[in-house]
Structure 1
Amino acid sequence: MSAEYATFGLAPAMRAGGVLANGDYQVHRDFVDFIVDGRPLLYQLSDLDAVSPLASDVPPAIFTAQVQSLLLEADPPLPDGRYVIYGCPECESLACGAVTAAIDRAGHDFIWRDFAWQTDEQADLELNGYHGIGPFRFRGAEYRAALASLLDEAPGGSRRRVLLIGARVALLAKLAAALRTIGIGADITRDAEGVPADELRAYGAVAFGRAVTEEERAAVRRAFDRAGVEVAYVDGLAPIVPLLVAQIENALDRSPPQQRRLTRLVAVDGEAGVEVTSPCRVRLTAYRLDRLYRTHAHEVFDGVLEAGRHRIALDAKAVKGESYVVARTSTSVLVEAMAR
């Protein structure tokens, strides 16, 4: 085992939710990711759609138990001293598969070793091991300080709620229903005047419909400024519910920009330019409005891209007229209008 130390840290992360082109829903999850040697461990393993056990939506007692488990202050949940590092974002069942590792203490240090993909009580390291990943030896003081700091914070403090402001009540109702389905709270109003500051602090984003005037938008911003609340503002691109959900997902992403996997999307003249920081699956969906304002959705790309910048030609029929492109990985969403 290598005697070299790896650095250990934590950072906010997101499993991107959304309304997919086929009508399926993908649940939004906020969690704390493990940063090993300056990079999210999730990205070093493989292109997984998974979350750590340190999710913001679990009850406080369970969150505390997960932290204590990683500190080896509780018995391991799996045989052979193994712990779940990443699990299914939908149900967290081991049967769906999980990344596990053995965690040991060596003097004051902590060691994560023998990473594996596991679907039952016993891990088959030869068949399902992540060979070449780890072992990681962390300095005890750094490791304990990072995890212990989570116990001083409110695990549910991610402000996963959106205030929807617009004139088209029927559209806003559909948008609110879609957001609630994927785990994001949503409220509808015409303005924020007179709303108590404590209520405004519950929101992480404000989304404006296209019909909201600049004067009305400024009034909403003043209300949040007076309350001392910093939120992300979303200018709705079009009355298309999945597109608006994607914009809101992007606004709610609290992960550090330097830790994100999907970093760039450009949509120009029937092409999409995408940049990713590590190999991952990328899905591109095009939405367009026809002359009768009917919505058309097309999956225009679904594949694994290597780290770097990529130019992807899109189906001309999918992006003609007023159209928009959504790029999605498991942890990030970007949206752009097609420029001509």
Structure 2
Amino acid sequence: MSAAYATFGLAPAMRAGGVLADGGYQVHRDFVDFIVDGRPLLFQLSDLDAVSPLASDVPPAIFTAQVRSLLLEADAPLPGGRYVIYGCPECADLACGAVTAVIERADDDYVWRDFAWQTDEQFDLELNGYQGIGPFRFHGDEYRTALNSLLDAEGPGSRRVLLIGARVALLAKLAAALRTIGIGADITRDADRVPAEELRGYGAVAFGRGVGEEERAAVRRAFERAGVEVAYVDGLAPIVPLLVAQIEHALDRSPVALRRLTRLVTADGEAGIEVTSTCRVQLTAYRLDRLSRTHTHELFDGLLEPGHHRIPLDGKCVKGESYVVARTAGSVLVESMPR
């Protein structure tokens, strides 16, 4: 079967990190995704938790080598002319599983074909191939222009966060959690004293509930003077996993139209969710009781088809001061429960 022409593009994407309800951690990864015919190729591979080889946290020399490899300026890393398209977000080890494909030239064009799931260099395409995915034929000029643009770019946005609040112990726990999942974090109460060149290293600022409007305004002025655009996060509650989820959402630089999870609302004992492709969605509730103790409840964990969904919420889990976090492999949304 000959490959039909498809459009090729690139867009920033994220594998959302987080502090999980069971106490575990999921590493944050920023990467560049492949956009085929206007949609992320990753979304065509069902519910796959993976990142492309074009990840922001690899050394520049390796990143450049990955780009050159996709341009076929280097030998294929796997037998049969196969290249890794998506790999494990935790370790990138082939043994954990990877989506691979043959990449080859056809005159001036580039063709991606025979997509498969591999856990070893040897595999059976009949058993492990992705049926119905590809082959894709990309116009050479479009393909080369997109990938070469990565070599000229200044690099992805910063994954450092500035934490500002009155509760030092909470901020220290939050900073430790963020660093564990791969996000740098620093604590301060006075951004005026931070040099402009340091402010340029932050991608987000998170304010605690005890930070007043004057302090918030002073921080914003400091970043404006430094010529830095950052995302501002108003911490909803002194709950570390909840704050991490808020910060993850703030750091998401992917276009909204290219996200899997695009909407979360809570009302009348239900959560309204919208997803753009089949994916696993997890709903977790965090509740503060009258003694400011945190209670965590898993509300939902399952595959959802594209579209709008209404999920009933256990009233006991979301009474009082409660918050709901919706999570997919690449997106996180947070919503307060109406009181």
TM-score range, shorter chain: over 0.9
1:301 equivalent to 2:300? Answer yes
Deviation at 1:152, TM superposition (A): 1.0
Contact 2:15 2:329 in 1 (8 A): yes
For 1:150, give the aligned amino acid: L
User: How many equivalent residue pairs?
Assistant: 339
Contact 1:56 1:158 in 2 (8 A): no
Deviation at 1:57, TM superposition (A): 0.2
CA distance in 1 between counterparts of 2:250 and 2:105 reads 39
CA distance in 2 between counterparts of 1:151 and 1:109 reads 20
Task: Describe the SS at the equivalent of 1:326.
Answer: strand
- Name the structure 2 match of 1:268: 267
Task: Describe the SS at the equivalent of 1:319.
Answer: coil
CA distance in 2 between counterparts of 1:187 and 1:28 reads 17
For 2:325, give the aligned amino acid: V
Task: Describe the SS at the equivalent of 2:316.
Answer: helix
- Name the structure 2 match of 1:292: 291
CA distance in 2 between counterparts of 1:308 and 1:323 reads 26
For 1:259, give the aligned amino acid: L
Task: Describe the SS at the equivalent of 1:132.
Answer: coil
CA distance in 2 between counterparts of 1:253 and 1:3 reads 33
For 1:238, give the aligned amino acid: A
For 1:80, give the aligned amino acid: G
Deviation at 1:4, TM superposition (A): 2.9
CA distance in 2 between counterparts of 1:124 and 1:326 reads 40
Deviation at 1:124, TM superposition (A): 1.5
Deviation at 1:2, TM superposition (A): 3.3
CA distance in 1 between counterparts of 2:322 and 2:314 reads 12
For 2:141, give the aligned amino acid: A
- Name the structure 2 match of 1:89: 89
Task: Describe the SS at the equivalent of 1:244.
Answer: helix
Contact 2:82 2:100 in 1 (8 A): yes
CA distance in 1 between counterparts of 2:115 and 2:154 reads 29
- Name the structure 2 match of 1:61: 61
Matches within 5 A, 1:22-41: 22-41=22-41
Superposed CA offset, 1:239-285 (max 9, x none): 00000000000000000111011000001232111000111100000
CA distance in 1 between counterparts of 2:190 and 2:41 reads 42
CA distance in 2 between counterparts of 1:150 and 1:128 reads 31
- Name the structure 2 match of 1:197: 196
Contact 2:3 2:135 in 1 (8 A): no
Unaligned 5+ runs, structure 1: none
Deviation at 1:314, TM superposition (A): 1.2
Matches within 5 A, 1:186-265: 186-265=185-264
Over aligned residues, Cα RMSD in angstroms?
0.8
Contact 1:50 1:86 in 2 (8 A): yes
CA distance in 1 between counterparts of 2:22 and 2:45 reads 29
For 1:135, give the aligned amino acid: P
Give the TM-score of the pair, scaled to structure 1. 0.98
- Name the structure 2 match of 1:42: 42
Contact 1:54 1:66 in 2 (8 A): yes
Structure 1 runs of 4+ off > 4 angstroms?
Answer: none
Deviation at 1:194, TM superposition (A): 2.6
Deviation at 1:158, TM superposition (A): 2.2
- Name the structure 2 match of 1:315: 314
For 1:202, give the aligned amino acid: G
CA distance in 1 between counterparts of 2:3 and 2:271 reads 45
Give the TM-score of the pair, scaled to structure 2. 0.99
1:279 equivalent to 2:272? Answer no
Task: Describe the SS at the equivalent of 1:84.
Answer: strand
For 2:227, give the aligned amino acid: G
- Name the structure 1 match of 2:137: 137
1:12 equivalent to 2:12? Answer yes
Deviation at 1:161, TM superposition (A): 0.4
- Name the structure 1 match of 2:111: 111
Unaligned 5+ runs, structure 2: none
